[in-house]
Amino acid sequence: TEQTLVLVKPDGVARGLTGAILARIEAKGYSLVDIKLVEPDREVLEKHYAEHAGKPFYEPLVEFMMSGPSVAIRLAGNRVIEGFRSLAGTTDPTTAAPGTIRGDLGRDWGLPVQQNLVHGSDSAESAARELGIWFG
Ligand code: ATP
């Protein structure tokens, strides 16, 4: 069965939405294999977001991800990579579909980085790489 890395990002934890987000994941039927509170340093985030290095939102993104704790989750289930991304909704929370985590719980706060509550790996290759970074 497939696995993916999910992060409840610092905005989700700070707003007290960890439980609501976990409830949606559990209600969908995916299995929590491992879960922990994390406070990543720059080195971890530079690995995690290597594909975005050099983009205008890269530095604000790294700073945002160091602004407070996140929750890292190893999630399992058939087609969980695709399924969690569908549950999360599209990147921009303003236009993410209602019914999704980002669409129901997120908005634009006028900041240089989209604070969109969660991260989910986007492919099997990304999932293997990111699970290695966050869970070793
Ligand atoms: P998706 O792959 O669905 O777009 P994602 O979380 O994987 O979601 P990425 O494109 O990998 O999004 O970007 C990583 C993160 O960087 C986003 O979740 C968001 O927080 C931030 N981000 C992405 N694009 C922008 C942008 N144009 N402006 C500001 N922040 C952005």
pLDDT per position as a tens digit, 13-37: 999 999 999 999 999 999 999 999 9
Bridge partners, 36 (sequence order) = 72
Give residue 58's pLDDT.
97
Give residue 38's pLDDT.
98
- 48 tagged catalytic: no
Q: Where are the beta strands (DSSP E) in the chain?
A: 3-8, 31-38, 70-76, 118-120
Give residue 55's pLDDT.
96
Q: In the predicted model, what is the mean pLDDT of residues 28-49?
A: 98
Cβ(132)–Cβ(50) under 8 Å?
no
Q: Return the structure tokens found at 43.
A: 């080195």
Is the C-beta atom of 113 inside 6 A of ligand 1? Answer: yes
- Structural domain spans, the chain: 3-135
Q: Write the pLDDT tens digit of every residue in 69-128.
A: 999 999 999 999 999 999 999 999 999 999 999 999 999 999 999 999 999 999 999 999
Which candidate, 117, 101, 120, places its Cα nearest to that of 109?
A: 117
Coil, strand or helix: which one is 129?
A: helix
Which candidate, 56, 58, 22, 49, places its Cα nearest to that of 37?
A: 22
* C-alpha separations of 96 from 40, 49, 61, 134 in Å: 27, 22, 19, 26
Coil, strand or helix: which one is 132?
A: helix
The class (CATH top level) of 3-135 is alpha beta
List the residue whose alpha carbon is closest to atom 3 of ligand 1. Answer: 91
List the residue whose alpha carbon is closest to atom 22 of ligand 1. Answer: 114
| pLDDT bracket for residue 134 (50, 70, 90) | very high
Give residue 87's pLDDT.
98
Which candidate, 48, 19, 16, places its Cα nearest to that of 32?
A: 19
Is the C-beta atom of 114 inside 6 A of ligand 1? Answer: yes
